Homo-oligomer: A and B are copies of this chain.
Amino acid sequence: MIRAGGAKGVDHDWEPSVSRRAATIKDVARRAEVGVATVSRVLSGSGSVSAATRERVLRAVAELEYRPSALGRSLKTQRTGSIGLVLPEITDPFCAELAAGVLACARTLGEHVLLDVSHDDPVRETEIIDRLVEQRVDGVIAVPAGEPAGWRAALRTGVPVVFADRAVAGLPEIPAVLADDAAGVRSAVDYLAGLGHRRVGLLGTTTTGQAYRGDPGVREAAFRATLADRGLVPDEDLVVLARPGRDGAFAAVAGLFQSRPDLTAVLAATHLLGETAVLVARELDLRIPGDVSIVMIDDVPWAELCDPPLTAVGRPGRDMGHRACEVLLRDPARRDRGRPVVLPTELLIRGSCGPPAGMPGAAPRSPRTR
């Protein structure tokens, strides 16, 4: 195979085709018999090039199957075109939704997404941040584990950071996109109280490490506040905080259900707790909603498949991810003011709640009438 040699003419013997080194901008320039700058201009669309030249360059690009290297470009421009996404867990349906939102937005903005999971471990999270900084990502979106130190360090490097779903106490300078959890809890408790429930339990989570804004704390507080507004003294035995993990959830739920058989309704602060509540209720032969009504925070696919379908407080995970990405990438103004973006929740009434067992009008030990 003979190939007419270009300007400086010496033919390369291309190696056996299979693994010849990727073409660089220089190869293209040589082949098109132009300077590298011209190739760059053609490919970036900036500057001006004659039609004929452009044509030649494009042909060389095609013939060589040239792919510009983002490495060279990034080094020069000091932008990598990728952002980091730090999630506690990718198998969690809420996090996955959030990720989908980030991905969708990043795509429209032409950014890549570097994903990593922290398992809610601050040490690991800090490690991840470090590596992300080393990669020189253009920004980071995180559902933070709660330890401020790592994030402070990140800030010092100058990477823009946006929190989603949770915010870290003591870092008001980092913008956040949150769900209106307080309103969500309120809507759920109001609904339950409206049904006639007087002894409502809360299945919450312990706050590991630092306190969050936008997480456990506010759910608990909103729970108490709503009850108080209704003139119900929150019975402290009825709020139980589960340790992280399935076992913690199980212990908490079983403990609550067994120690307080007079309980008529419960609000599960996470979908894990909701799931556990359903399972434990089944094990204890408690009917839903006949014996106990359940509302769960976070709507997940299985909520509708449950029998009865579970009433839930839906939080817009996908929107939150999308929004966080927008704030990060195209809203530096907002990034500077510290006010968090708060997105509304929605009470999705399905079949898991009814009037309390003793209630006039309630069918005793049977599916709800009303």
Please list the residues of chain A having a beta carbon within 8 angstroms of any beta carbon in chain B. Answer: 19, 22, 65, 67-72, 74-75, 80, 82, 85, 89-91, 93, 96-97, 99-100, 103, 107, 112-117, 130-131, 133-136, 153, 156-158, 275, 278-279, 282, 300-302, 304-307
- A93 touches which of B89, B91, B131, B278 (Cβ 8 Å): B91
Q: Are A114 and B113 in contact (CB under 8 A)?
A: yes
Chain B residues with Cβ below 8 Å from A158 are 19, 22
- A306 touches which of B85, B130, B306 (Cβ 8 Å): B306
Q: Are B157 and A67 in contact (CB under 8 A)?
A: yes
Chain B residues with Cβ below 8 Å from A302 are 300-302, 305-306
- A65 touches which of B80, B157, B275, B278 (Cβ 8 Å): B157
Q: Are A91 and B96 in contact (CB under 8 A)?
A: yes
Q: Give the CA-CA distance A72 to B136 in the complex, in Å.
A: 10
Please provide the 3 A-B residue pairs with the shortest distance between their CB atoms, ordered closest to farther.
A302-B302, A307-B307, A115-B115
Chain B residues with Cβ below 8 Å from A91 are 93, 96-97, 99-100
Q: Give the CA-CA distance A244 to B278 in the complex, in Å.
A: 31
Q: List 5 A-B contacts (CB under 8 A).
A: A22-B158, A67-B133, A70-B135, A71-B136, A100-B117
Q: Give the CA-CA distance A275 to B114 in the complex, in Å.
A: 32
CB of A62 to closest CB in B, whole Å: 12
Q: Are A69 and B134 in contact (CB under 8 A)?
A: yes
Closest chain B residue to A282 by CB distance?
Answer: B307
Q: Give the CA-CA distance A130 to B69 in the complex, in Å.
A: 11
Q: Are A305 and B90 in contact (CB under 8 A)?
A: no
Q: Are A114 and B116 in contact (CB under 8 A)?
A: no
